[in-house]
Amino acid sequence: MSNTGFNQFRGDVNTERIKYIADPQLRNIVNVSIALGRPLLVKGEPGTGKTLLAHAIAEALGKRLIIWNIKSTTEAIDGCYMYDTVQRLNDSRFGSDERNVDNIKDYITLGPLGEAFVSNEQVVLLIDEVDKADIEFPNDLLQELDVMEFYVKETKEFVRANTRPIVIITSNNEKELPDAFLRRCVFHWIEFPSKEFMAEICNLHYPNLKQNLLDQCLKHFYALRAITKIRKLPSTSELLDWIGVLLKSGISIDELKKGIPFLGVLIKKEKDVELALEKVKFPT
């Protein structure tokens, strides 16, 4: 297929700032969602690199990344624009050299969504943790994400996207998202990496890591993950941190074989630590 602009994202990024590999399925879906101009909704276990994906895409395609972090108080309008009434009121009283009180536009600042729309070049827009906000929040974004425009009622103007941004939305499944919102997205569930793929990921982050050390680390790691009762299973990001700690401490492979040092890096809940200690050895 000789589709121009398709297959842009190759799936692996290895730069100073970002090291990331996507499995082939994820890579395909990213490219499909770019080609279709639909937002990509990514879900998956915590620590499987959902947020990092957007960073990696921006890095790989050399595009600007705009991040919209969603909080429990975030409203859809926050992403579009903000009208600073207090500043205007203040300026009307005391005057301003920079702003003209009669010009309402001087008091309108664009939010992340607005900025992504007005940018002349295509940008990557990350809407992070969309499930954090109120349950109705995604419904308020339908028009914005569908047609990629919104209306500024103060100036009676539309802000339209010059080029459709690449939209990546992440969710941690805290709330279910409305169907109308889901219909407009392409959805991907990031599977937990297999042992082989995990080895690849570790090698990318720690290129000098010895093979036998890595094997032992992965053995411990997957043994921990096999304990089904653990509530917060260790994830990729925790494994990478843990390997980092091991390397810094200069631990030998023999010591590592005896048990799991620095268990706290992998397991964060007290009850889980107890469970883990029952099942796996701990060096004394």
Nearest distance, CB of residue 4 and another protein, angstroms: 11
Residue 215 tokens, joined: 């094997």
Tokens for 119, please give them. 């940018």
Query: CB-wise, 156 or 183, nearer to another protein?
Result: 183
| Distance between CA atoms of residues 125 and 69, nearest Å | 11
Considering only residues 148 through 187, tell me which ones interact with another protein, judged by CB under 8 A: 174-179, 182-187
Contact 47, 73 (CB under 8 A): no
Nearer to another protein by C-beta: 137 or 206? 137
Closest distance to another protein from the beta carbon of 74 (Å):
12
Distance of closest approach, residue 29 Cβ to another protein, in angstroms: 5
Task: Using CB under 8 A, pick the residue from 61, 77, 104, 189 that binds another protein.
Answer: 189
Helices (H), the chain: 24-36, 50-61, 76-80, 85-94, 112-118, 142-147, 179-183, 195-205, 211-225, 236-249, 253-258, 263-266, 270-279
The tokens of 246 are what? 């091991």
Is 1 one of the binding residues for another protein (CB under 8 A)? yes
Residue 121 touching another protein (CB under 8 A): no
Return the residues of window 88-117 that contact another protein according to CB under 8 A.
89-90, 92-93
Which is closer to another protein, CB of 198 or CB of 243?
198
Cα separation of 13 and 178, whole Å? 33
By CB under 8 A, tell whether 86 contacts another protein.
yes
Q: What is the DSSP string of 264-281?
A: HHH---HHHHHHHHHHS-
Tell me which residues touch another protein (CB under 8 A).
1, 3, 6, 25, 28-29, 31-33, 35-36, 38, 41, 43, 72, 85-86, 89-90, 92-93, 135, 174-179, 182-189, 191
